[in-house]
Structure 1
Amino acid sequence: MGEEGGGRSCGTTRELQKLKQQALEYYRENDVPRRLEELLNSTFYLQPADVYGHLANCFSKLAKPPTICKVVGKNVLDGLGLLTLQVEIFCTIQNFPKNICSVVIATHFEVHENDLPELVEAEGAERLEAVSTAVRWVNETITKELRGMAPSNQAEVDQVLRTFFENKVQEDKERKELEKSLGDSTVPTPSPLISPPPPPPPAKKNGQRQGKKDTLTEKPIVPPDPVEPVLCGSMAIGAVSLAVAKTSAILGNNPLYLNISLLKHHQPPPLKAETKKGLNGGKRGQQQITGKMSHLGCLTINYDTIEQPLLLIQGICANLGLEMGTDLHLAINCAAHELMDYSRGKYEVMMGTHKNAAEMVDLYVDLINKFPSIIALIDPFRKEDSEQWDSIYNALGSKCYIIAGTASKSISKLLEDGNISNPKSSGLIIKHTNQTTMSDLVEITNLTDSKKHIAIFGSTEGESCDDSLVDLAVGLGVRFIKLGGLSRGERVTKYNRLFTIEEELVQNGTLGFKEEHIFSLNEEAEKATEALEAVATTAGELPEPPEPIFPTEVEEPAKT
């Protein structure tokens, strides 16, 4: 009995000596004695509580780096009171879980103010399913996939999210194929129906001659492309990716835009206008310029001519002492896809005023010549009108930016195709939504930079007061940001964040305009300009590009 107890005692002694030796090696490797000595010397005159605080900070540096322990998805409301997704990140810090941050992602659904009630109800049900699916993905699978990962490793996190999304896409594809096969086996094949003969052409009246307009028929309008499918729940991917990036920034005590910038660069995170009288009812009998504010923060007004809203802005700038083309530039969101009258095959630029594609090119050229302060046209044609995009780019590509907004594909499709010039344009608007990760944003901006295209970071219609997209725009180094009008809290918050970042960059000495114009010609536009100069006979010199300033976007006016 004594020998057995003595053997156990010797074994315990050896184990204690081994543990002491390991502890001694750990303290020697991390130079803990010297750190404690320096700490005690520096806190000699401090209170005991302060000393303990410094000791805690010292030992906290030796602790395990924070890792993700839980990701939580929730249903919240956006700025319009519509359902969207919120994601929270919890990390294990010094053996305790801690809520680090939360983000809210905007949905891809467009907001239509005058939709029929049944359409609004159907879209509401679709939105509910999309958000509910995203919440389920986050709380059930994504939180398990990311548990234990370091939030600083954005590329690894995004790769996990991509793999998860690809599996969901494959599952959805297999489900649809199974439903189709079951439907084909149960539904009997109908017998072919004999189509009725086409109606005879209208009889021509006696004495009627076929005119020139009847013989020269215009080219039929191309029908709109089908809407690009969005996998239900995909917003979970983009939201979690953004939340992890924000978590890494907070843990590193850095602003989000700095972390995004380091991620992109593969670094680890540590003319005075003449005042026009009578524009606002100065002339008796003239229509008053009145309107209402849209959900995008834009004033929709009544107007008699296309130029009237621009003349109104000129008059306002003159009253404020601002010079158009110097202190203020304009970007017009043409939104041509909303102007198409498919029954006529023409664009309805004003109520009762229809123009074909060629006439639209002439309209834009005339508008830019009259108002050289316009430096960008967004979606001047539908994305299906590729020939018209070529025409407008060749005609105006040397004078202003031709931007593809709605006419552009989603970021995932652009990265898959590697072609950002379809339709032909000077640049595109990118948005953070659905399955777009931080790595995707870095990749698409690198692609636009390599092609000498400009990137405009834009917000979606269903916004929230989450101002992260401003940090994304600054960190990615895009040329412009498209936030909508200065109306409603969800947009004003983003403008205020932009001002805050500007102040920080000024204080750090990192903000300054480059020696380049805000409108710089790319190679194709330069060739077009040289060709124009070669054939010009009576035209003078081309106007100088505008100086660098922040442009103001003018949304499309409402039809009257």
Structure 2
Amino acid sequence: MGEEGGGGSCGTTRELQKLKQQAMEYYRENDVPRRLEELLNSTFYLQPADVYGHLANCFSKLAKPPTICKIVGKDVLDGLGLPTLQVDIFCTIQNFPKNICSVVISTHFEVHENALPELAEAEEAERASAVSTAVQWVNSSITHELQGMAPSDQAEVDHLLRIFFASKVQEDKERKELENSLECSAVPTLVPPVLPPPPPPPPTKKKGQKPGRKDTITEKPIAPAEPVEPVLSGSMAIGAVSLAVAKACAMLLNKPLYLNIALLKHNQEQPMLFMPLLMVSLISCGKSSSGKLNLMKEVICIPHPELTTKQGVEMLMEIQKHINKIIEMPSPPKAETKKGHDGSKRGQQQITGKMSHLGCLTINCDTIEQPLLLIQEICANLGLELGTNLHLAINCAGHELMDYSKGKYEVIMGTYKNAAEMVDLYVDLINKYPSIIALIDPFRKEDSEQWDSIYHALGSRCYIIAGTASKSISKLLEQGNISIPKSNGLIIKHTNQTTMSDLVEITNLIDSKKHITVFGSTEGESSDDSLVDLAVGLGVRFIKLGGLSRGERVTKYNRLLTIEEELVQNGTLGFNEERTFFYFNEEAEKAAEALEAAAAREPLAPTFPTQGVEESAETGASSG
């Protein structure tokens, strides 16, 4: 017993001697005695507390850099009171764990205000499952995968997150295959029934036969809706953790998040930063409104590029105040006609509205012109000119307009148009209102032929932008093709498995194709304002945050104003040499040449000028 104890004591002594030897070597290598002597000499007249502070700073410089020690996922509520994911990052700093930051990611789910109860319940259950799975991933596997990594190593963090996500996709695929095989084995083999022979094909027209009336009205059948891109339950954990790591790195380096993102995009070279142009939703009169008009899910205002963000927000706030006054104003008594109508066809009925989840007013309109005339009138009263001081964009939400039973778009309640007629409608709309410089999702993504048609008809006068009609960022990067459907630009959002590296890659791809990038918020937003930093850091052309109401959206506008102030104070705010909205790519130039050739034969509405705003003001033409 004594010998064993003695042996243990010797072993302990040897270990202590080894540790002392390592400590001495460390001190010699880092010249600690000299540093302490210099420090003590320099702090001779300081108080003991100050000496301790200086000593702490000295040793902090010798400490290991911060590393991730824990990541915590939580189930929280977004701006609509619906569940979403929060991620907290903890780092080891000088041997102590410290909570560095937290982020909240928005879900990809759309908000359906008039959804059927059974559909609403199913989506609610799907959302809850997605969030709980994400929380589980973050608190177990992802924490284990990223433990010990430096937050500054964003590329490696995103690489590990991609590998982790790919493994989860494979697990889900194998699980579904196993379930299908079990179902097939459980079903007894049945003799297939004898099917009746197919009906004979319709008689073909002979050559030279004149088409009858029925043939002339035969329309090409619409393409069926493509299956919705699958979203793996829990995938929001990937995007949230990637963003949280980027934010933690920025905070540890005492830098704003937008600068950290810009350095990622520009390979750590200090870039000149630009403020994205505002796309602010003023009113909504789509299918969720009580009026007959379905076409305009959002009527969006875009202040002129030469205005600062602050000036643009102040101008749009004035317009919104006037809209609110019109909504609240009681309508004068009107004498009813014999048929009981009150002049609604002339747009004189009382406009009523309610606040939308998008942060703008949902109003009732019965004609396409009515919301545009409303804004036009308000601008005139404020001394503003559409097409000069500000421009418009329309979110058409084409996928919401299709009536599959009729195979047509229901533009106004009871008024249906096929895809070809929709092209004519949009051309007429832009001809009549040239201040509209962007159409978002004018068609479903399946109507590729009509996307081509409208791009060549209007692509030199307004942006044709794919939002919901575009594929997800992961699919776009996988295929490397952003030209389907044919458009001038894309709306991208930070959701699901989209990492910071993915955002850098997709914006570089869009820039290389001379398309424009619109960074958009989701329908169900949270109060986290990080996406504003992402938009500024990535250098996108436009930012689309919804309206100037609701806390979760106003928070982001306030963040925009703060960033603009910081860039001005630091002298790092750049000014784009292009003083107009539009720039041509090769295909748009060809379309413009075709339009000019047509204009030589027949007068058309004014086209997009490419000169500066001063020339536009002198000539009275629209600068859009």
Shift of 1:489: 0.6
Residue number among 576, 582, 595 corresponding to 1:519 in the alignment: 582
Q: How many pairs align?
A: 528
- Give the whole-Å Cα distance in 1 for the aligned partners of 2:456 and 2:184: 50
Alignment of 1:183-262 (within 5 A): 183-190=183-190, 191-192=192-193, 194=195, 212-213=213-214, 215-262=216-263
- Give the whole-Å Cα distance in 2 for the aligned partners of 1:353 and 1:155: 52
- Give the whole-Å Cα distance in 1 for the aligned partners of 2:15 and 2:112: 76
Match of 1:554 in 2: none
Relative distance call for 1:268 and 1:247 in structure 2 (3 A) is farther
Residue number among 544, 554, 563 corresponding to 1:492 in the alignment: 554
Residue number among 539, 550, 560 corresponding to 2:603 in the alignment: 539
Alignment of 1:73-92 (within 5 A): 73-92=73-92
Asked if 1:25 is matched to 2:89, the reply is no
Relative distance call for 1:287 and 1:535 in structure 2 (3 A) is closer
- Give the whole-Å Cα distance in 1 for the aligned partners of 2:546 and 2:531: 13
Relative distance call for 1:39 and 1:415 in structure 2 (3 A) is farther
Match of 1:310 in 2: 372
- Give the whole-Å Cα distance in 1 for the aligned partners of 2:221 and 2:15: 92
Match of 1:555 in 2: none
- Give the whole-Å Cα distance in 2 for the aligned partners of 1:198 and 1:491: 58
Relative distance call for 1:292 and 1:40 in structure 2 (3 A) is farther
Relative distance call for 1:530 and 1:92 in structure 2 (3 A) is same
Shift of 1:445: 0.4
Relative distance call for 1:297 and 1:102 in structure 2 (3 A) is same
Match of 1:556 in 2: none
Relative distance call for 1:544 and 1:37 in structure 2 (3 A) is same
Relative distance call for 1:327 and 1:536 in structure 2 (3 A) is closer
Pick which of 411-420 and 16-25 moved more.
16-25
- Give the whole-Å Cα distance in 2 for the aligned partners of 1:148 and 1:501: 32
One-letter amino acid matched to 1:513: F
Shift of 1:532: 2.3
Shift of 1:11: 8.3
One-letter amino acid matched to 2:121: E
Shift of 1:69: 0.4
Q: Residue by residue, what CA displacement relative to the aligned partner does 1:299-332 show, whole Å, maximum 9, x if unpaired?
A: 2222232111011111112222322222212121
- Give the whole-Å Cα distance in 2 for the aligned partners of 1:110 and 1:16: 60
Relative distance call for 1:17 and 1:180 in structure 2 (3 A) is closer
- Give the whole-Å Cα distance in 2 for the aligned partners of 1:335 and 1:433: 20
Match of 2:338 in 1: none
Q: Is the 8 A contact 1:40 1:51 kept in 2?
A: no
Relative distance call for 1:268 and 1:515 in structure 2 (3 A) is closer
Match of 2:93 in 1: 93
One-letter amino acid matched to 1:544: P
Shift of 1:62: 1.6
Residue number among 348, 354, 379 corresponding to 1:292 in the alignment: 354
Alignment of 1:44-59 (within 5 A): 46-59=46-59
Pick which of 453-462 and 150-159 moved more.
453-462
- Give the whole-Å Cα distance in 2 for the aligned partners of 1:39 and 1:315: 75
3-state SS of paired residue (1:407):
coil
Shift of 1:34: 5.2
Shift of 1:33: 3.1
- Give the whole-Å Cα distance in 2 for the aligned partners of 1:320 and 1:301: 21
One-letter amino acid matched to 2:29: Y
Match of 1:344 in 2: 406
3-state SS of paired residue (2:390):
coil
Residue number among 369, 390, 393 corresponding to 2:431 in the alignment: 369
Q: Residue by residue, what CA displacement relative to the aligned partner does 1:135-183 show, whole Å, maximum 9, x if unpaired?
A: 1111111100000000100000000000001111111111111111111
Match of 2:620 in 1: none
Q: Residue by residue, what CA displacement relative to the aligned partner does 1:97-142 show, whole Å, maximum 9, x if unpaired?
A: 0111111111111111111222211111111111111111111111
- Give the whole-Å Cα distance in 1 for the aligned partners of 2:489 and 2:543: 13
- Give the whole-Å Cα distance in 2 for the aligned partners of 1:301 and 1:196: 54
One-letter amino acid matched to 1:242: L
One-letter amino acid matched to 2:123: E
Q: Residue by residue, what CA displacement relative to the aligned partner does 1:495-520 show, whole Å, maximum 9, x if unpaired?
A: 10111111111111122321102221
Match of 1:528 in 2: 591
Shift of 1:195: 5.8
Q: Residue by residue, what CA displacement relative to the aligned partner does 1:178-236 show, whole Å, maximum 9, x if unpaired?
A: 1111111111244326469879x9xxxxxxxx962554301011111111001111111
Q: Is the 8 A contact 1:374 1:400 kept in 2?
A: yes
Pick which of 182-191 and 111-120 moved more.
182-191
Relative distance call for 1:150 and 1:360 in structure 2 (3 A) is same
Q: Is the 8 A contact 1:246 1:256 kept in 2?
A: yes
- Give the whole-Å Cα distance in 2 for the aligned partners of 1:257 and 1:48: 41
Relative distance call for 1:45 and 1:482 in structure 2 (3 A) is farther
One-letter amino acid matched to 1:412: S
3-state SS of paired residue (1:536):
helix
- Give the whole-Å Cα distance in 1 for the aligned partners of 2:117 and 2:19: 76
Asked if 1:355 is matched to 2:417, the reply is yes
What runs of 5+ residues in structure 2 fail to find an aligned partner?
A: 1-5, 203-210, 272-303, 305-321, 335-341, 343-347, 614-624
Match of 1:463 in 2: 525
Q: Is the 8 A contact 1:375 1:401 kept in 2?
A: yes
3-state SS of paired residue (1:90):
strand
- Give the whole-Å Cα distance in 1 for the aligned partners of 2:16 and 2:137: 52
Q: Is the 8 A contact 2:357 2:524 kept in 1?
A: no
Relative distance call for 1:482 and 1:12 in structure 2 (3 A) is closer
Alignment of 1:435-446 (within 5 A): 435-446=497-508
- Give the whole-Å Cα distance in 2 for the aligned partners of 1:32 and 1:162: 46
- Give the whole-Å Cα distance in 2 for the aligned partners of 1:13 and 1:458: 60
Pick which of 110-119 and 47-56 moved more.
47-56
Shift of 1:365: 1.1
Q: Is the 8 A contact 2:27 2:33 kept in 1?
A: no
- Give the whole-Å Cα distance in 1 for the aligned partners of 2:128 and 2:19: 60
- Give the whole-Å Cα distance in 1 for the aligned partners of 2:333 and 2:587: 47
- Give the whole-Å Cα distance in 2 for the aligned partners of 1:38 and 1:215: 95
Asked if 1:144 is matched to 2:144, the reply is yes
One-letter amino acid matched to 1:459: S
Shift of 1:48: 3.3
Shift of 1:416: 0.5
Match of 2:482 in 1: 420
Relative distance call for 1:472 and 1:20 in structure 2 (3 A) is closer
3-state SS of paired residue (1:222):
coil
Q: Residue by residue, what CA displacement relative to the aligned partner does 1:537-558 show, whole Å, maximum 9, x if unpaired?
A: 253874424868xxxxxxxxxx
3-state SS of paired residue (1:500):
helix
What is the RMSD computed on CA atoms of the aligned residues? 3.1
Q: Is the 8 A contact 2:462 2:608 kept in 1?
A: no
Q: What's the % identity of the aligned pairs? A: 77
- Give the whole-Å Cα distance in 1 for the aligned partners of 2:357 and 2:266: 37
Shift of 1:26: 2.4
Relative distance call for 1:215 and 1:359 in structure 2 (3 A) is closer
Relative distance call for 1:300 and 1:143 in structure 2 (3 A) is same
One-letter amino acid matched to 1:64: K
Relative distance call for 1:38 and 1:370 in structure 2 (3 A) is farther
- Give the whole-Å Cα distance in 2 for the aligned partners of 1:13 and 1:139: 38
Residue number among 384, 408, 413 corresponding to 2:470 in the alignment: 408
- Give the whole-Å Cα distance in 2 for the aligned partners of 1:319 and 1:258: 41
Asked if 1:106 is matched to 2:106, the reply is yes
One-letter amino acid matched to 2:593: E
Relative distance call for 1:198 and 1:118 in structure 2 (3 A) is farther
TM-score, normalised to structure 1's length?
Answer: 0.87
Q: Is the 8 A contact 2:439 2:462 kept in 1?
A: yes
Relative distance call for 1:282 and 1:61 in structure 2 (3 A) is farther
